[in-house]
Amino acid sequence: MYHPFSVTETISNAWGITKKNFAVIIVYMLIALVIFMGFGFVVKFILIDPVLDVVAAIVSTVGLSLIFLGFIKLVFRLIDKEYYDFDFIDIVPKFKMLYSYVVLLVIVSTLAVFVSNSIKQMDDSMVKYLLGIFSGLFVEIFFLFYFPLCACFIVDDDSGPFESVAQSFHLIKGNFWKYFILFLFIEALVLVASFTVVGLIFVVPFVNILLVVAYRKLVYSHQDVDDDVSETI
């Protein structure tokens, strides 16, 4: 039967996944930390020539994207592990996933910088002030509100960069305010956790798990499927 999207159920399921797979998540975080430090070492001590700044930026972007997409794949595997086992190779992002994610990230970031610089060059006025606020809010909302869903479509549905954006807008249709409440919950959670390093270490993976579970539940809310608990936890 119809499976409506529920904020409280989403949070509950995400917390359940986190508790049941805490050891796996910690191991991944440690591996990710080693990989991140490796990319950081390359950028800081090898790509030190100013001419190589672009290369260093690419290396950093690719490294962080691999870690993020790998974690998203891991969460999907943890959600579905009742149906099949998985190996480490199963959470390594495919080239198309990495390509689609990086392309979308670069396009949105470039547009944001271009619009921001264009507004800064305008004469001081109320219009410039309002445009600055609007553009800033738009970029923040897209990155924090829609971008995680785009990443889920890229990983789960093998979508392209532009296709994932269209799919994300369609996915939230009919559940905008519920998803917005979840968004506010995540923002409050991150704000509270930001006061301590330990808090961020625990909250960041939980937030990403929460977003993946939300994505999966939103997908089911658009389909005529059995309302089975095993579908989402």
In terms of average pLDDT, the best of 61-65, 94-98, 128-132, 222-226 is 94-98
pTM: 0.83
3-class secondary-structure state, position 171? helix
Asked if the structure places residue 152 within a domain, the reply is yes
Longest pairwise C-alpha distance within the chain? 60
Which tokens hold the place of 43?
Answer: 């950028």
CA nearest to 184, candidates 7, 5, 4, 6: 7
**Letter for the amino acid at 41?**
F
69-73, 90-94, 125-129, 203-207: which range is least confident on average?
125-129
What's the angle, vertex CA 139, arms to CA 134 and CA 140, rounded to 5? 100
Range of the domain at 79: 7-231
Asked if the structure places residue 136 within a domain, the reply is yes
Q: What is the pLDDT of residue 33?
A: 82
3-class secondary-structure state, position 4? coil
Answer whether residue 209 shows pLDDT above 80: yes
Asked if the structure places residue 149 within a domain, the reply is yes
Averaged over 84-88, what is the pLDDT?
74
Asked if the structure places residue 107 within a domain, the reply is yes
Residues 189-208 pLDDT 10s = 888 888 887 677 888 899 99
**Letter for the amino acid at 57?**
A
Overall domain count for the chain: 1
Residues 110 and 99: their CA atoms lie apart, in Å, by 16
Asked if the structure places residue 1 within a domain, the reply is no
Answer whether residue 1 shows pLDDT above 60: no
Asked if the structure places residue 83 within a domain, the reply is yes
3-class secondary-structure state, position 223? coil
Asked if the structure places residue 2 within a domain, the reply is no
Asked if the structure places residue 180 within a domain, the reply is yes
